[in-house]
Amino acid sequence: MGQDGMTRRKVLLGTGTLAAGAALTHVSGLVSTASATGGSLEKWPWPYKKLDPEKTAEIAYNEWYRVFCGAAVISSVFGQLRQLIGEPYNSFPIDAFVYLEGGQVGWGTICGAPAGANVVANMIIGPRIDSSTIGHQISTDIMQWYSQTELPVYKPKTPKVKDNLPTTTSNSPLCHISVGRWMKAANKPLGSPERKDRCARVTASTAYRLVELLNKWKEGGYESNTDFNCGKEYGITGQFNCNDCHGNNVPQAPQEAPPKA
């Protein structure tokens, strides 16, 4: 007998309302959970209180060794807000974002540090109305800062690796390129303590930057540092480092039809 048969029989036998309800939802789709709205966590933006960037970075650094880059950035901010504010932060499943590691489960796409920072910024600042919305702006500022800064900037108070680690500019938000350029400069493999500590410090550097930006926004003085918009400029989603991948032969995206006169 298959899984469904089992479940249905359990329902028929009435093994308790809770189990029956859950089984019904699963088997016959009587309740559509996807369309259920109004849950207590659904309303956003969430409240923010200014945090100390230094303290946040130190937490992020240590959290990297527990949940890696993305979840560490989220934990460094939301963990403190749990103590200062409580709900809805207490209910947010920080550790679920462990999958951001290695550019999403090791696939080398977006580095978890900016990915985690973007989760935080958008949760706190609110829905995107257009590309000038501040949550969106903080995210794009984080992406550009990450790409163009010699990282890591942050030096932990009690580093797990004592050496001075080399710094590199990734010119890209991609984990693959960011880690690759650093490994080449440092001549250290992926599994080395140095590479791990480098990523923990990049995570801490990003958490520091994020809180600086959030604090500025909270004070009401936020001004965006970037106006890069790949879709508008090039007609394709992307980053600014076209030549990195395309060499001198950057393809042209099909152009929008010109507006009718």
Please report, as ranges, the residues that interact with ligand HEC according to CB under 6 A.
Answer: 174, 230, 234, 236, 238-242, 244-246, 250-253
Measured in residues, the chain has a length of 261
**Nearest residue (CB) to ligand HEC, 41 versus 250:** 250
Q: How far is the CB of 119 from ligand HEC (least distance, A)?
A: 22
CB 184, min distance to ligand HEC, A: 16
What one-letter code names the amino acid at 2? G
- The CA distance from 57 to 73, in Å, is 8
Cα(30)–Cα(137) distance, integer angstroms: 41
CB of 3 to ligand HEC, least distance (A): 41
CA distance 135 to 129: 10
Indicate the residue among 160 and 176 with the shorter CB distance to ligand HEC. 176
> Residue 90 and residue 45: Cα distance in Å, rounded?
15
The two tokens of residue 37 are 């709205």
Q: What is the closest distance, in whole angstroms, from the C-beta atom of residue 136 to ligand HEC in the complex?
A: 18
* Closer of 222 and 234 to ligand HEC (Cβ): 234
Q: Which is nearer to ligand HEC, 126 or 238 (CB)?
A: 238
Nearest to 215 by CA among 54, 41, 43: 54
Amino acid at 26: H
Question: Between 76 and 147, whose beta carbon lies closer to ligand HEC?
Answer: 147
> Please, which residue, 247 or 258, has the CB nearer to ligand HEC?
247
Chain-centre distance for alpha carbon 65? 17
Beta carbon of residue 110, minimum distance to ligand HEC (angstroms, whole number): 11
CB of 242 to ligand HEC, least distance (A): 3
Residue pair 153/208 in contact by the 8 Å Cβ criterion: yes
| Residue whose structure tokens are 């790409």 | 147
* Residues 9, 14: Cα–Cα separation, whole Å: 8
Q: Nearest to residue 76, comparing CAs of 214, 258, 188? A: 214
Q: Which tokens belong to 86?
A: 């409580």
